[in-house]
């Protein structure tokens, strides 16, 4: 049965060849190598061109070797989905980072479940810390969000010029005040709605 190797790097400057060498150094003779170069880890495994191509070539019962778990998906859920799909085909999945453990085996499934639980806990803790930090900043009177690009006087002038007799265009006002059209629209829209009401 053939051994497939898969690698992924986020930028064109990086080389997936280093991952291939790492797999070979671990004692695996790679029959077929597929690598997605310049592909972000945020893209799910099944949407990566070379990973999809590899899935079309690998036969049931063969072996897939990767250096790290994140090569198999963008997050714990994506990795789990990918491994379950490979397991249904009897494909052995080896991740060198986890000590050559076959993730489709009973021990591998246990390891995946634990890793998914840890990842979920880390996400929850991050959300808690973020919320706590925001509440503390508000309590200290700090202004949250993006800084305002115009002063109160400028906003008042923009509204007057927009609603005035000539009715300056949003594009012209954006150029005059050096802000985006979206910023001008955010300023004039509430004033226009109040004027109409």
Q: What is the pLDDT of residues 81-138, one digit of tens each?
A: 888 899 899 999 998 988 877 888 888 888 877 877 777 777 788 889 989 988 998 8
With 50 as the cut, is the pLDDT of residue 197 above it?
Answer: no
Residue with more model confidence, 121 or 185: 185
Averaged pLDDT, 50-55: 94
Share of the chain above pLDDT 90, in %: 33
**Taking the alpha carbons of 19, 9, 43, 131 in that order, is the dihedral positive or negative?**
positive
Averaged pLDDT, 53-76: 90
With 60 as the cut, is the pLDDT of residue 195 above it?
Answer: no
Place of tokens 């198999």: 72
With 80 as the cut, is the pLDDT of residue 193 above it?
Answer: no
Which residue in 13, 38, 41, 35 sits closest to 22, CA to CA?
A: 35
Q: Sheet holding 92-95: strands in order across?
A: 32-37, 3-9, 63-66, 92-95, 101-102
With 60 as the cut, is the pLDDT of residue 196 above it?
Answer: no
Superfamily of domain 3-115: Resolvase, N-terminal catalytic domain (3.40.50.1390)
Beta-sheet pairing, 101-102 with 92-95: antiparallel
Long-range (24+ apart) CB contacts under 8 A made by 181-190 are 183/149, 183/150, 184/158, 187/150, 187/155, 187/158, 187/159, 188/158, 188/159, 188/162, 188/163
Is 10 annotated in the active site? yes
Q: What is the pLDDT of residues 1-15, one digit of tens each?
A: 899 999 998 887 788
Averaged pLDDT, 32-57: 91
Is the model's pTM score more than 0.75? Answer: no
């Amino acid at each position: 049965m053939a051994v497939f190797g898969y690698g992924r790097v986020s930028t064109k400057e990086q080389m997936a060849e280093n991952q291939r060498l790492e797999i070979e150094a671990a004692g695996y003779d790679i029959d077929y190598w597929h690598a997605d170069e310049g592909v972000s880890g945020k893209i799910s495994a099944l949407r990566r061109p070379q990973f999809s191509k590899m899935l079309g070539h690998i036969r049931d019962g063969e072996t897939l070797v990767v250096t790290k778990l994140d090569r198999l998906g963008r997050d714990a859920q994506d990795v789990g989905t990918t491994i379950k799909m490979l397991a249904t085909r009897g494909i052995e999945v080896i991740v060198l980072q986890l000590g050559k453990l076959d993730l489709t085996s009973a021990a591998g499934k246990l390891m995946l479940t634990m890793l998914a639980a840890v990842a979920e806990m880390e996400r929850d803790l991050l959300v808690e810390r973020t919320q706590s930090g925001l509440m503390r900043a508000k309590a200290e009177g700090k202004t949250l969000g993006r800084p305002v690009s115009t002063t109160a006087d400028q906003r008042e002038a923009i509204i007057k010029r927009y609603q005035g007799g000539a009715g300056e265009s949003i594009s012209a006002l954006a150029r005059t005040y050096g802000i985006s059209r979206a910023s001008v629209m955010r300023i004039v829209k509430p004033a226009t709605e109040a004027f109409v009401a």
